[in-house]
């Protein structure tokens, strides 16, 4: 059962960091903060991401943690490549941080950004702010970071990671992408986007013995 405290936070439409006015109702919206989950490590998301329309990535992190627990493992310390930079990707990163994981990348149509030591809460807030600006691309983040790289390496699939979370377009991971992930030490792929791994990609993940958390059961 989910339990929350009694202190609501009130935000107007203009204060929502994700999605903009078109994604929220007019007027003020009240909700409870410090929502407690059944998982002991997940007490509350970063403040910037705490609103009722932004939690779509939390379930992806919970799913990943459950899959890993079944293998007597956990997300703690795992270096997590995130493909995408929208609401699902951002809220996924927030929940991964609560589990002790290390988000290391975001991407969009312009390319990808990579933080070798990971995105902490402050850096994640910067990503959210950048992506909240109309038409802004993820590459603008590097203006605010002295440690991030942009489109380096040339392909995001060449970044070493422990887990990959595709949260962008359908079929973004095929046979070749799955093979390159495996070559760079990736242990598994957990889909945050609908059908992010295509049929050939699923076959390759199975062939390599990699963990796969599908968005839908086929």
Percent of the chain whose pLDDT exceeds 90: 71
* Arithmetic mean of pLDDT over the chain: 81
What secondary structure, in 3-state letters, does 112-125 show?
Answer: EEECCCCCCHHHHH
Arithmetic mean of pLDDT, 180-209:
96
**pLDDT value at 53 more than 90:** no
pLDDT at 215: 87
pLDDT at 56: 82
Measured between alpha carbons, how far is 166 from 85 in angstroms, rounded to an integer? Answer: 10
CA distances from 86 to 17, 39, 133, 152, 163 (A): 11, 25, 12, 21, 19
| Domain annotation for the chain: domains and CATH numbers | 54-213 (3.40.50.720)
- What is the pLDDT confidence band of residue 54, given thresholds at 50, 70 and 90? low
Backbone φ, ψ for residue 189 (5° rounding)? -125, 125
The pLDDT tens digits of the residues spanning 10-36 come to 333 333 333 333 333 444 433 333 333
pLDDT at 134: 85
Of the two residues 22 and 104, the one the predictor is more confident about is: 104
């Amino acid at each position: 059962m989910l339990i929350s405290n009694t202190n609501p936070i009130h935000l107007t439409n203009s204060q929502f960091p994700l999605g903009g006015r078109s994604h929220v109702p007019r007027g003020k919206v009240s909700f409870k903060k410090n929502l407690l989950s059944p998982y002991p490590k997940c007490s509350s998301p970063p403040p910037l991401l705490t609103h009722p329309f932004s939690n779509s990535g939390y379930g992806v992190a919970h799913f990943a943690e459950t899959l890993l627990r079944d293998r007597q493992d956990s997300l703690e310390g795992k270096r997590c490549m995130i493909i995408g930079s929208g609401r699902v990707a951002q809220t996924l990163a927030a929940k991964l941080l609560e589990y002790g994981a290390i988000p290391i990348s975001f991407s969009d149509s312009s390319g990808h950004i990579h933080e070798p030591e990971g995105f902490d809460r402050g850096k994640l807030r910067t990503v959210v702010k950048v992506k909240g600006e109309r038409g802004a691309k993820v590459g603008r983040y590097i203006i605010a970071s002295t440690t991030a790289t942009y489109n380096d390496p040339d392909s995001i699939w060449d970044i070493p990671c422990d887990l990959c979370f595709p949260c962008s377009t359908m079929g973004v991971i095929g046979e070749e992408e799955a093979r390159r992930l495996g070559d760079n030490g990736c242990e598994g792929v957990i889909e945050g986007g609908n059908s992010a791994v295509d049929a050939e990609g699923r076959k390759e993940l199975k062939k390599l013995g990699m963990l796969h958390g599908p968005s839908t059961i086929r």
